[in-house]
Amino acid sequence: MRAIIAMSALLLAGCSLNPPLSKPALPVPAAYHDATGDNSASAATLPDWRQMLADPALQRLVELALENNRDLREAALNVAAVQAQYRIQDAARLPALDATGGGTRQRASSADAPNGAVTRQTSAGLAVNAFELDFFGRLRSQSEAAFARYLASVEGQRTARLALIAAVADAYLELRLAEEQAALTERTLADWRLALSLTERLHGARQRNGLDVAQAAGQVATAEADLHARDRARRLARNNLELLLGAPVPQALPAGLPLAQQPVMTTLPAGLPSELLTRRPDIMQAEQALVAANAEIGAARAAFFPRVSLTAQLGLGSAEMGSLFQGGNRSWSFAPQITQPIFQGGRLRAELKLTEVRNHLAVVQYERAIQTAFREVNDALASNQTYQRQIVAQQRVVDAAALRERLSNLRYGAGQDSRLELLDAQRQAYAAQSALLDLRRDHFKSAIALYKALGGGVS
């Protein structure tokens, strides 16, 4: 029995019929379209998400999401399931050794013993049942495919983790925007209500006409409608955030920072497109899927060759339990079997063709993952470069609109401008400030998108 097991172990490293793994060339240019001089060179390691998202309230929310998010839990359970499947598949390469024991009592009648004679038989031993000797690497290829699928699931978990961090950051920025837009609208509404009250008093004193009152009232109604919209946006953003957290937003959060002071890193080293192959977990996941598909071709090829299996048993047998372990009661059996496929109705060739098609599909998915990553990085780089300049220009718009509003208010008070001119100046100032808040939110979201597109600092 020891010799049989030793021989079987030597055969575990049998030949492999896997085709050579050939990765396609990068289906993207050698550099990003909007890369700067620093980005075109090899990039340094990306910062950890805590360095990227330094707002203490946001950091706490991300921690809660990583602990409680159901999608992330599902990804972790998928990893555990695929790992168990790999262990099951890999165990087929080793002989299964079973301990056996049994006993029989039998009565048989004969001419010499018409009442029947009772016979007894007791046995105990060790057995190896139908262990396949992997001469052509079929089991080895299946084990390699299962291991590659396990590694792909690990990368899938990293992808889910990175996506969750980015989603929580985006939801938090949406909540901050809704809150700051609501605060801006409340301040504006308070000013416009005061202006309406003053206009109504002047109209009562016959110093303003009914048109001025109607314009001021319409302005207040517009701000009130905007306030309801801001409140709705705030509630929806909070609901989305709670879904990502997998728990209610805690009351005792650290104080959040306004958009103008968000310490989100907006400049990141993009490096070269080739670095995405080791940074992006989704690309690494697609690569492992390619490895698995390649190994499955080897298993399908090995199915055409003879399959050798071994059944063996070594034990003891005796008519009496008390003498079972005495000398002279040993027994053994050795039953090798070889099976050569002759006619399968084309099934083996179809299975080989299927694995080859799946391998081609894995190559296409691998290339598509690289192209998608390249586009996402290019989009984020373009956004980052333009948002900063747009914010600077929009700040000038805000300053100019605020100056116009002050001057129009003075001229209107002096009777030099109409109420319509003042109304237009006030609306322009309000819209300019609101647009600036939107741009700040979009700028930080584009930085987070670049961080995600580059693969993030997620272990």
Are 336 and 307 in contact, with CB atoms under 8 Å apart?
A: no
- 343 part of a folded domain: yes
Instruction: Provide the pLDDT for residue 163.
Output: 92
pLDDT at 316 over 70: no
Burial class (CB in 10 A: 0-12, 13-18, 19+), 156: buried
Spatial neighbors of 304 by CB under 8 A, at least 6 apart, are 341, 348, 352
- 9 part of a folded domain: yes
- 39 part of a folded domain: yes
> Phi/psi of residue 313, each to 5°?
-150, 140
- 74 part of a folded domain: yes
Instruction: Provide the pLDDT for residue 361.
Output: 94
Q: Give me the mean pLDDT over the 310-329 stretch.
A: 65
Domain of 259, CATH number, reads 1.20.1600.10
Instruction: Provide the pLDDT for residue 272.
Output: 82
Instruction: Provide the pLDDT for residue 5.
Output: 45
Instruction: Provide the pLDDT for residue 110.
Output: 58
- 22 part of a folded domain: yes
Range of the domain at 11: 2-100+122-453
- 115 part of a folded domain: no
Report pLDDT digits (tens) over 61-119: 999 999 999 988 999 999 999 989 888 888 888 888 888 777 677 766 656 655 666 66
Report pLDDT digits (tens) over 107-137: 666 566 556 666 677 776 778 888 888 888 8
- 392 part of a folded domain: yes
- 112 part of a folded domain: no
Instruction: Provide the pLDDT for residue 111.
Output: 60
Q: Give me the mean pLDDT over the 152-169 stretch.
A: 93
Which residues in 114-145 are b (16+ Cβ under 10 Å) and which e?
eeeeeeeebbbbebbeebbbbebbbbbbbbbb
Instruction: Provide the pLDDT for residue 408.
Output: 85
Grouping H, G, I as helix, E, B as strand and the rest as coil, residue 340 is coil
Pairing relationship of beta strands 117-133 and 307-318 according to DSSP bridges = antiparallel
Instruction: Provide the pLDDT for residue 116.
Output: 60
- The angle, 0 to 180 degrees and rounded to 10, between the axes of the packed helices 56-68 and 70-91 is 40
Report pLDDT digits (tens) over 253-268: 888 888 888 888 777 8
Residue 4: pLDDT band with limits 50, 70, 90: very low
Domain count within the chain: 1
Query: CA-CA distance, 50 to 62, in Å (whole number)?
Result: 9
Instruction: Provide the pLDDT for residue 441.
Output: 92
Query: CA-CA distance, 370 to 365, in Å (whole number)?
Result: 9
Quick one: what percent of the chain has pLDDT higher than 90?
38
Indicate yes or no: pTM above 0.85. Answer: no
- Looking at the DSSP bridge assignments, the partners of residue 232 are none
Dig out the tokens for 291 from the structure: 């490895």
Spatial neighbors of 344 by CB under 8 A, at least 6 apart, are none
Report pLDDT digits (tens) over 412-429: 777 777 777 888 888 899
HSE at residue 248, side-chain half, CA atoms within 13 A, is: 3
Instruction: Provide the pLDDT for residue 161.
Output: 93
pLDDT at 201 over 90: no
